[in-house]
Amino acid sequence: MNKFNEKYMKNEYGYIVGKISSTLAKLLNSKTQSVILSYDTLIKNLKHHPDLTQEEYLLLDKIIGKSHFIAQDGKHTLAIILEHSKLYHYTLKITKTGKAIFLTSFRRTNEISIEKIRKKDKKGKVRIIKDHLP
């Protein structure tokens, strides 16, 4: 992950891996647009999703900035699914104060998972914010 360490700036909480739009930040009551991936979460994610390559982690900034499907699941957690030659799923969590956004999960996904989220929306269990996927 040498290239990862070179590409993404570090702060006291982890790596700044991307930015959400100002519109989405406002909708989520976030005072920031920067998305942070903590070192512990990165290690956990590498362990749980060994299929992801370093090149895919290097796309995080582009992936986070170009969401095609966004669903809010719970009060503080935002699940986002998007396409960048493949389908990926990542989850964000905004702190209660709105001063930080953390990436809590990153993985590949498929159309079946997207349909499950759409069904949960119809049942009122999640709220779809944006759906630009077929």
pLDDT tens, residue by residue, 14-44: 999 999 989 889 988 899 999 999 999 999 9
Q: What is the pLDDT of residue 74?
A: 80
The total of structural domains in the chain comes to 1
Q: What is the pLDDT of residue 75?
A: 62
105-115 mean pLDDT: 92
Q: Which residue type does 80 have?
A: I
- Reply yes or no on whether the pLDDT at 78 is more than 70: no
Which residue segment(s) compose the domain that 100 sits in?
A: 2-131
Q: Indicate the pTM of the whole model.
A: 0.89
101-121 mean pLDDT: 93
123-130 mean pLDDT: 92
Average pLDDT, the chain: 89
| Token representation of residue 53 | 């390559």
Confidence of residue 88 (pLDDT cuts 50, 70, 90): very high
Confidence of residue 84 (pLDDT cuts 50, 70, 90): low
Long-range Cβ contact pairs of 111-116 (< 8 A, separation 24 or more): 111/87, 113/81, 113/89, 114/69, 114/81, 114/87
Q: Are strands 77-83 and 69-72 parallel, antiparallel or unpaired?
A: antiparallel
Q: What is the pLDDT of residue 83?
A: 58
